[in-house]
Amino acid sequence: PIDINTADTSEWKSLKGIGSYYARKIVGFREKLGGFYKVEQVAETYGLPDSTFQSIRSFLLISTDRIKQINLNTATVEELKAHPYIKANIATAIVNYRANHGAFKSIDQLLNIGAVDDELYRKIAPYLSVN
């Protein structure tokens, strides 16, 4: 078993079906995200076959104490849109909302932005804070 948030490429390569290419892709995706908050996110790695994910899934453990969060009250459009789940239009809408309504008091306020639906909110909430 490996911890998906701390494993380096050599640990990933110890899993059947994961070579250097996929190991680099998984670690790169994890770094862009700021860490995984659930095992299923590994399957979102670009190009990773579902059959490969299913074959390694039982060997994947997760610790979520290292998730990197973005502060909604200080983040720029560029910082927000660098996250794989936040498109440019969403990043712009977040910054505009903050400019018009003041600092975010809770992450839930994202749901007041028309472009942020429940599904997107659930995906991005673990990566956001209002410090």
Cβ atoms within 10 Å of 52's Cβ, excluding its own: 18
What pLDDT sits at residue 131? 87
Report field, pTM of the whole predicted structure over 0.85:
yes
Q: State pLDDT tens for residues 36-93.
A: 999 999 999 999 999 999 999 999 999 989 899 999 999 999 999 999 999 999 999 9
Q: Phi and psi (nearest 5°) for 49?
A: -65, 140
Q: State pLDDT tens for residues 103-119.
A: 999 999 999 999 999 99
What pLDDT sits at residue 66? 87
